[in-house]
């Protein structure tokens, strides 16, 4: 496509192609191959970027891990960024890749202090459904599962009854049904409100037929196990998409095996459906004091509140829906089972239609979304109800219609660049907060000409404590090690050669003192993988 001039390095063209493809030319979400190409280009253009495949999923997709670091990644405290936690959140993968690019191009100085481990797409099989001829919000991997646990596998998939390439809903006129058209917007189907004297007159199902004649519609389609339902915190046993036991899938094991080896990790940012950034998790005393802890711990709730405040300064979008996983979620794992500073955001949500003097805002989320779409001239967000012949309902009025898949979870592609920049800015703020151990106020006193007394403050210069309260409990965060190394002619009279301490709060210190006999230099080292390590050489008096 490009004519290569001999004096222009090839990488220039690669770069130009990259910029045009990603920042300017791209008009729609990138499929898995395009994601892979973008990641490979980042690696070839930036020495700070290293791309590796953690595993290949059952569906044959690589699970990519992109490490951004200056020098040895383990030398700096690290943040992990995880996208594709929910396969229908296409934005998350785009953001993860674009943020990586932004850091490498515009903020590479942060890599002098912080390492980033970026996993752009943990649900490649699911997200590819967006690029297929038949679009529906798929969340599972490619493993064949018996979602309804009836002994048959994948026997009742969706069917595109109106041949529009989208899976929406069917509604069947039937007095035994318990749905009605919403009073706010008659395109939206809602459960009849008995308290309001409503009587149901529709049945509503997802678009398809009852292939296995069990009375349920599309309850066991192809695949699979959902990434965000297969983790060990509050695992939803025997629920569709959960898997037979926690962490049963290759991509789950590969990610966790990798994370468990990165002792420098102090924060995990999930780009997923859960959101503890727009509004922080609340401390619950009862949940926090049980053996199986179900509430964020008290001090961690304070941290969450502070970080959330920073997030809302940078991302000014309001009215974020609150959403917590119904068990087996990755975000919950990253806090409750991994003890890291755990942050999660979907990155985007449809703005709420507020209403004005002529139009009242609808309360129903979907009806409100349609008002928002109307206000913003969004097209193709709703498939108008049209009559079809349905084999399961031979003499009834059946219509297909509803909100298009993906549109409520993902913004139009032109919003991606700005959203990515906002979130890069936020992550750079998180990096500024990171724990940072240094040795300060070194005092060296001669005692009676024979001994030297060394006194230092081991200081955490970061805003964040070295360990979350949960992290203090976890064996997967190292303690802070203070080690005084002596040579053969030096003797420790008082103090510990090796001291392990649980944690140091943000902007706080702990004092240590030693009495040493002998002369020459001793070396003092303090810190651990996720806090940074400081080392000082001290000359004995």
Partner 1 sequence: MLVMILPLAVQAQKQEDIFRAAGSPHNPKVQIAFNKYYTAEGLAALSKKIADAYPNLVKRQSIGKSTEGRDIWMLAITNYKVGDADRKPGFYIDGNIHSNEIQGGEISTYTAWYLTENFEDIDYITDMLNERVFYIVPTINPDARNNYMKEANTGSSPRAGMIALDDDRDGLFDEDGLEDLDGDGSVTRMRRKNPNGNMIVDPKDPRMMIEIGPDDVVTGQRYEFLGSEGIDNDGDGLVNEDRPGYYDPNRDWGWKWQPDYVQRGAYKYPFSAPETRAVADFVLSHPNIAGAQSYHNSGGMILRGPGAEEDLSTYNRADIAIYDAIGKKGEEMMPGYRYMVVYKDLYSVFGGELDWFYGGRGIYTFTNEIFSSFAYYKTKERDRNQMYKFEKDLLMGDAFSEWKPYDHPTYGEIEIGGFRKNIGRATPGFMLEEELHRNMAFTFYHAHHMPRLTISDVKEKKLNGGLTEITAYINNDRMMPTHASQDLKYNISRPDYISINGAKVISGMLVNNEDFGVTTEQVNTPEKIKVANIPGNNVTKVRWIIKGSSWNTITVDSEKGGMANYSKK
> How far, in Å, CA of 270 to CA of 66, rounded?
15
Cβ 471 to partner 1, closest distance in Å?
10
- Strand 62-68: give its sheet, edge to edge: 49-56, 62-68, 115-119, 78-82, 265-270, 341-344
Length of the chain equals 541
Nearer to partner 1, 336 or 372 (CB): 336
SS3 419: helix
Element (H, E) at 459: strand 451-460
Cβ 184 to partner 1, closest distance in Å?
39
Structure-block tokens of residue 197: 């004297």
Nearer to partner 1, 131 or 393 (CB): 393
Cβ 238 to partner 1, closest distance in Å?
4
Of the candidates 503, 496, 499, 484, the one whose C-alpha atom is nearest the C-alpha of residue 437 is: 503
Cβ 509 to partner 1, closest distance in Å?
21
> How far, in Å, CA of 157 to CA of 224, rounded?
12
Are residues 479 and 502 in contact, defined by beta-carbon separation less than 8 angstroms? yes
Are residues 398 and 168 in contact, defined by beta-carbon separation less than 8 angstroms? no
Nearer to partner 1, 34 or 499 (CB): 499
Residue with tokens 């930036």: 46
Beta bridge partners of 536: 524
SS3 146: coil
Cβ 124 to partner 1, closest distance in Å?
21
Nearer to partner 1, 257 or 445 (CB): 257
Are residues 231 and 255 in contact, defined by beta-carbon separation less than 8 angstroms? no
Cβ 430 to partner 1, closest distance in Å?
24
Nearer to partner 1, 171 or 337 (CB): 337
Nearer to partner 1, 10 or 475 (CB): 475
Cβ 11 to partner 1, closest distance in Å?
39
Cβ 223 to partner 1, closest distance in Å?
18
Burial classification of residue 215, based on how many CB atoms lie within 10 Å of its CB (0-12 exposed, 13-18 middle, 19 or more buried): exposed
Nearer to partner 1, 58 or 444 (CB): 58
Element (H, E) at 384: strand 382-388
Cβ 528 to partner 1, closest distance in Å?
6
> Could you give the maximum distance between any two Cα atoms of the chain, in Å?
105
Ranges of H-type helices in 73-206: 90-106, 124-127
Site residues (CB under 8 A) for partner 1? 146, 149-151, 212-214, 232, 235, 237-238, 244-248, 252-253, 256-257, 260, 263, 291-293, 336-337, 339, 470, 473-479, 481, 496-498, 500, 528-529
* Per-residue 3-state assignment (H helix, E strand, C coil) for 253-291: HHHHHHHCCCCCEEEEEECCCCCCCCCCCCCCHHHHHCC
Cβ 138 to partner 1, closest distance in Å?
23
Cβ 536 to partner 1, closest distance in Å?
19
Element (H, E) at 367: helix 365-375
Nearer to partner 1, 387 or 496 (CB): 496
Backbone phi, then psi, for 81, in 5-degree steps? -125, 125
Are residues 404 and 384 in contact, defined by beta-carbon separation less than 8 angstroms? no
> How far, in Å, CA of 366 to CA of 350, rounded?
10
Q: Which residues are CB-contacts of 249 (< 8 A; sequence separation ≥ 6)?
A: 57, 58, 141, 143, 225, 227, 230, 243
Cβ 332 to partner 1, closest distance in Å?
12
Q: What is the rounded end-to-end Cα distance, in angstroms, of the chain?
A: 71
> How far, in Å, CA of 408 to CA of 378, rounded?
11
Structure-block tokens of residue 494: 């008082």
Nearer to partner 1, 443 or 500 (CB): 500
Nearer to partner 1, 171 or 252 (CB): 252
Nearer to partner 1, 94 or 219 (CB): 219
Nearer to partner 1, 161 or 255 (CB): 255
């Amino acid at each position: 496509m490009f004519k290569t001039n001999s004096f222009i390095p090839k990488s220039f063209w690669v770069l130009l192609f990259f910029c045009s493809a990603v920042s300017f030319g791209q008009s729609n979400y990138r499929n898995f191959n395009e994601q892979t190409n973008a990641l490979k280009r980042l690696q070839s253009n930036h020495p700070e970027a290293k791309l590796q495949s953690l595993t290949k999923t059952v569906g044959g997709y690589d699970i990519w891990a992109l490490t951004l670091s200056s020098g040895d990644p383990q030398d700096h405290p690290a943040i992990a960024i995880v996208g594709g936690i929910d396969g229908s959140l296409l934005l998350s993968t785009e953001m993860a890749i674009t943020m990586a690019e932004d850091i490498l191009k515009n903020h590479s100085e942060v890599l002098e202090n912080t390492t980033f481990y970026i996993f752009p797409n943990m649900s490649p099989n699911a997200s590819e459904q967006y690029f297929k001829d038949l679009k529906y919000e798929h969340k599972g991997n490619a493993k064949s599962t018996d979602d309804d646990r009836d002994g048959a596998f994948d026997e009742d998939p969706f069917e595109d009854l109106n041949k529009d390439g989208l899976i929406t809903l069917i509604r069947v006129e039937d007095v035994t049904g318990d749905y009605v058209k919403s009073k706010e917007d008659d395109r939206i189907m809602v459960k009849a409100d008995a308290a309001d004297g409503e009587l149901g007159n529709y049945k509503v199902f997802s678009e398809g037929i009852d292939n296995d004649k069990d009375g349920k519609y599309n309850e066991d389609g192809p695949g699979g196990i959902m990434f965000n339902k297969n983790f060990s915190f509050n695992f939803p046993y025997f629920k569709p998409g959960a898997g037979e036991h926690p962490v049963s899938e290759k991509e789950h094991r590969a990610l966790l095996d990798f994370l468990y080896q990165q002792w420098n990790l102090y924060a995990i940012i999930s780009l997923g459906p859960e959101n503890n950034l727009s509004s922080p998790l609340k401390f619950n005393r009862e949940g926090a004091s049980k053996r199986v802890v179900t509430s964020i711990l008290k001090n961690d709730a304070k941290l969450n509140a502070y970080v959330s405040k920073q997030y809302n300064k940078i991302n000014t979008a309001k009215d974020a829906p609150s959403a917590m996983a119904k068990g087996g979620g990755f975000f919950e794992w990253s806090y409750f089972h991994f003890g890291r500073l755990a942050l999660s955001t979907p990155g985007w949500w449809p703005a709420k239609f507020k209403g004005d003097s002529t139009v009242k805002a609808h309360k129903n989320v979907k009806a409100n979304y349609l008002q928002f779409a109307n206000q913003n001239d969004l097209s193709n967000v709703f498939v108008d109800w049209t009559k079809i012949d349905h084999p399961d309902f031979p003499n009834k009025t059946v219509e297909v219609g509803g909100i298009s898949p993906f549109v409520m979870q993902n913004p139009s592609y032109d919003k991606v660049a700005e959203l990515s920049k906002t979130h890069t800015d936020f992550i750079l703020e998180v990096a500024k907060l990171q724990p940072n151990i240094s040795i300060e106020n070194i005092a060296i006193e001669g005692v009676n000409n024979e001994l030297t007394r060394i006194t230092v403050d081991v200081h955490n210069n970061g805003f964040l404590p070295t360990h979350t309260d949960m992290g203090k409990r976890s064996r997967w965060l190292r303690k802070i090690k203070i080690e005084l190394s002596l040579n053969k002619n030096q003797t420790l009279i008082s103090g510990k050669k090796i001291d392990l301490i649980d944690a140091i709060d943000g902007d706080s210190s702990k004092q240590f003192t030693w009495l040493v006999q002998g002369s020459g230099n001793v070396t003092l080292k303090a810190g651990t993988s996720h806090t940074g390590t400081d080392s000082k050489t001290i000359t004995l008096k």
